[in-house]
Amino acid sequence: AQSVAQPEDQVNVAEGNPLTVKCTYSVSGNPYLFWYVQYPNRGLQFLLKYITGDNLVKGSYGFEAEFNKSQTSFHLKKPSALVSDSALYFCAVRDEGATNKLIFGTGTLLAVQP
């Protein structure tokens, strides 16, 4: 069965430093991968997606993600973190058996210290 894993419950980074939030996936075919962000007391917002093509995907708010097929990973990155990036980040994969559904990871809390 397909799944996504976010191995870190929390990531701490200093403002101005690069950040990485990790995600690995397990699917049998070609994955459709997504990143969402949730700010406190808000709903999830779409950041970016990988469907096919270039392995480096650019999204909202300066975020990007790198698709690595050999490592089955889709890590979220940003060159220079902002305090306002502090939020909960979710990785998701489209369900191969039911393409109208997304399977979410458990989330990673990003804390950016000033």
Partner 1 sequence: NAGVTQTPKFRVLKTGQSMTLLCAQDMNHEYMYWYRQDPGMGLRLIHYSVGEGTTAKGEVPDGYNVSRLKKQNFLLGLESAAPSQTSVYFCASRMTSGDTGELFFGEGSRLTVL
What is the contact surface with partner 1 in residues (CB under 8 A)?
Answer: 9, 32, 34, 36, 41-46, 49, 51, 90, 94, 99-102, 104-107
Residue placing its CB nearer to partner 1 in the complex, 15 or 38? 38
Calpha distance 35→91 (Å, rounded) = 5
Residue placing its CB nearer to partner 1 in the complex, 26 or 45? 45
Residue 86 C-beta: closest distance to partner 1, Å: 17
Under 8 Å CB-to-CB from 20, ≥6 apart: which residues?
11, 75, 76, 77
Q: If DSSP codes are grouped into helix, strand and coil, which group holds residue 30? A: coil
Residue 63 C-beta: closest distance to partner 1, Å: 15
Residue 66 C-beta: closest distance to partner 1, Å: 18
Question: Looking at 31-72, which runs of residues are DSSP E strands?
Answer: 33-38, 44-50, 56-58, 64-68
